[in-house]
Structures are given as C-alpha cells and as structure tokens.
Amino acid sequence: MAWQAGTERRFMQGARGALDLYDPLNLSVNLLWYKQSGITGADTDPVSTWADEGNLVGGGLDFTQASTLRPTVNATGAPNGGKSILFDGINHWLTTGTDASVAADMHVFMVIKQVSWTNLDRIMDGRTGSFNIRQYNAVPPQVQIDFVAANNDATVGSWFLWEIQMDNESAPNVDAWFQVGNGTATTGTMSWAGTPPNGLRLGTDAFGGAKSNIEVCELMVFCGGLLTASERTATRNYFSNTFSVTV
C-alpha cells in the first residue's frame, strides 16, 4: 500500500497486522508539522516559505527566509523519491516567527540527511538559543544536543529519522533523549535556564551562525508535552512507511 507524504490521515501497519488510522493532529500533544507536500517549486528553486500545517498555534508558524538566505528545492532528493530542502552550509537557513507556545517540553521527529559534516555546525535551534542540535566529535561523525554530554553516530550521506525528546519536569534542567534511526539512544541533562525556545530555526543556531549542509524532507515538533509510548511508536511507523527510513 502506498502512502502520500503530507496527507492528513494515513493507514499504518499495526503490531498485529491490522491497519490502524494514524493522524498526528489527533494525538495527545499539539504539533508543528512541516510536511513534504508543503515543499513547493521546481528543482533548485529557492524556498521562501515552508508552511506549518499543525495545530499548536492553529497552523501558520511557518518557516520563512529572506531571498539571499533561502535554501533550495531538491525535486527528487528524499528517500521516497519526493522533494527535500537543501541547505548549503554557507548561507541557507529558515526561521519561524516567535510564539510562546513552542515550550520546553518537546518531542521532535525529523527526516534528515547530512550532506557534509563540520564540527560544531548547527542543525536546529530555538529562536532564543534554548537548545541546539549540532554536529560534534568527528571520529566518527556524530551529532548531539548541545550541553548534553552524549553523542550519536550519524553517517554522512544517508537519510535517517532523528527523534529528539526534551522533558522539562525538573526545570530549569531538562532531561534530553536523542536517537538516530534504530541506533542506541543517548540521554543527558541540559539547562534552559527557564527560557523556552519561543520558535524554531533550521539549518543554523539561534543567531544565524554555524550553518549546516543538510537536506530535510519532513519535520514534526510536538510541544507542551511528550508523546505516550504508543503514540511514539505510531509516529515512527508513519515515518518508516512514508519515507523508507530505518527507525
């Protein structure tokens, strides 16, 4: 059975072989959703907007960028043969507006390929610098959440599902959890000093520096709470079936 990326409802293969209806907009945590189907334009066209089609702020917390800094469309770059967004690691990055709903409790799912690797290049951050996901520790090429002393192997040139969870129960300290594909998850504790992300930046840090050379084809950011174990499994199954990535 084929799945079309970006549709609001998909049938997923359940644990007992039954087809279960999966809709991330109906889970227990509100969502920012940047769909593959929302990547518009022809090959190499600049991306001015990647629309948010979630329900955290009623939709509309879009990724945008000024003309000289826009990443570009790769028309067949994604692992399912569809579109992805290519960041050149020199100029390109995207940013959302500011919204306090993008809170400390966060569960992120991202289909991503590192095109190249440079130590300390930033992949994603909050607008206020509350966290950043970065390339770190070159032997082998690894990635981590900054301030969390644990690294994840992430092969350059391959597509993976990255899953990141940040739990703010003990604020200002945040328990962080990070898994690349079906690799070993890493855990640690970071401090946000009581400052929530208040928005997102992709391909760079909160200040538009240390840009990364990556491709991304879909991103879900659940905010204000964490998914249950069954919701997490269903979400990983969606990404596995839609994008043919290892989870």
The count of structural domains within the chain is 1
47 domain residue, yes or no: yes
Tell which residue, 33, 64, 2, 24, has the closest CA to residue 203: 64
pLDDT of residue 194: 57
Alpha-carbon distances of 46 from 5, 14, 88, 204, rounded to whole Å? 21, 38, 12, 17
* Residue 200, helix vs strand vs coil: strand
pLDDT of residue 67: 82
Bin 59: left if φ > 0, else alpha if -120 < ψ < 50, else beta. left
18 domain residue, yes or no: no
The residue segments making up the domain with residue 212 are 35-243
Alpha-carbon distances of 122 from 94, 208, 246, rounded to whole Å? 12, 9, 23
Percentage of residues in the chain having pLDDT higher than 90 = 60
What is the residue-averaged pLDDT of the chain?
87
2 domain residue, yes or no: no
166 domain residue, yes or no: yes
9 domain residue, yes or no: no
13-22, 63-72, 205-214: the lowest-pLDDT one:
13-22
Residue 12 pLDDT > 60: no
4 domain residue, yes or no: no
91 domain residue, yes or no: yes
Asked whether 220 and 109 are in contact (CB, 8 A), the reply is yes
5 domain residue, yes or no: no
pLDDT band for position 103 (50/70/90)?
confident
pLDDT of residue 132: 85
pLDDT tens across 34-70, in order? 999 999 999 999 999 999 999 998 888 999 998 889 9
- CATH number, domain containing residue 122: 2.60.120.200
